[in-house]
Chain A
Amino acid sequence: GAGVSQSPRYKVAKRGQDVALRCDPISGHVSLFWYQQALGQGPEFLTYFQNEAQLDKSGLPSDRFFAERPEGSVSTLKIQRTQQEDSAVYLCASSLAYNEQFFGPGTRLTVL
């Protein structure tokens, strides 16, 4: 399809494990965003890329969270030493420079 895709759709991790979440944006979209959505809440901004440059990472909750987009296309959100409070849906969105953001289906992370 032509939309934003994310994998895996569901991830269960034991506390302390590292996880990697992948986002494939819409082809040609310059901007890429990561959000965290807790149950019953609205998405919360984590970080933003313009091409391969990470221009804003102010929303990352701790240094255990790391995102990269090395070639300006696919992005990976990595969470090290996962904690129970990291359980959430992680959403990726992409957009042309100043246009609407198109969201992927999200990855539901459950930390046991």
Chain B
Amino acid sequence: GESVGLHLPTLSVQEGDNSIINCAYSNSASDYFIWYKQESGKGPQFIIDIRSNMDKRQGQRVTVLLNKTVKHLSLQIAATQPGDSAVYFCAEPDSGGGADGLTFGKGTHLIIQP
């Protein structure tokens, strides 16, 4: 079955540096991916999404890259700030659309060092 997973459970970066969080997926038919940020004690918060007809999408300080050849996507956070400390999940809809449940990866804990 399809799965969404992450390479590293914890990523530690210096404040001001760029962060890159990776995610692999197994279903080549997957066509929509979402990145969520989850702070301690809170629910996941939408960051950015990307459809499979795109290779790159940029938001405010964040960029998502999608490599369909190797079934890999990454989230890049520029000039990391203390408020970026959280667990980051990649996710995809179960049905490939948007109104069904999401399948989440296990998450990467981003730690910001002063």
Residues of A within 8 A of B (CB): 4, 31, 33, 35, 40-48, 50, 56, 59, 91, 93, 95, 97-106
For B107, the chain A residues whose CB sits under 8 A away are 40-42
Chain B positions 77 through 111: 1 when the CB is less than 8 Å from some CB of chain A, otherwise 0? 00000000000010100100111111111110000
Are A48 and B44 neighbours in the complex by a CB distance under 8 Å? no
For the side of the interface on B, what is the size category?
Answer: 20 to 34
A97 and B99 within 8 A (CB): yes
**Residues on B with beta carbons closer than 8 Å to the beta carbon of A106:** 42-43
Asked whether, in the complex, the Cβ of B44 is within 8 Å of the Cβ of A103, the reply is yes
Q: How far is the CB of A96 from chain B (nearest CB, A)?
A: 9
A45, A98, A104, A105: the one within 8 Å of B99 (CB): A98
Which residues of A lie under 8 Å from residue B103 when comparing CB positions? 45
Contact yes or no, B49 A48, CB < 8 A = no
Residues of B within 8 A of A46 (CB): 101
Residues of the B chain whose Cβ atoms lie less than 8 Å from the Cβ of A93: 43
Nearest chain A CB to B57's CB is how many angstroms away?
14
Hey, which chain B residues are within 8 Å of A101, CB to CB?
Answer: 46, 102
Pick the contact of B105: A31, A40, A42, A91 (CB < 8 A). Answer: A42
| Residues A100 and B99 in contact in the complex (CB < 8 Å), given A42-B105, A105-B41 | no
Chain A to chain B: the 3 pairs with minimum beta-carbon distance, closest first:
A103-B43, A45-B101, A42-B104
B residues less than 8 Å from A4 (CB atoms): 43
B105 smallest CB distance to A (angstroms): 5
B contact residues around A105 at 8 Å (CB): 41-43
B104 A56 Cβ-Cβ under 8 A:
no
Please provide the chain B residues from 4 to 42 with a CB less than 8 Å away from any CB of chain A in the complex: 34, 41-42
B78 CB to closest chain A CB, in angstroms?
22
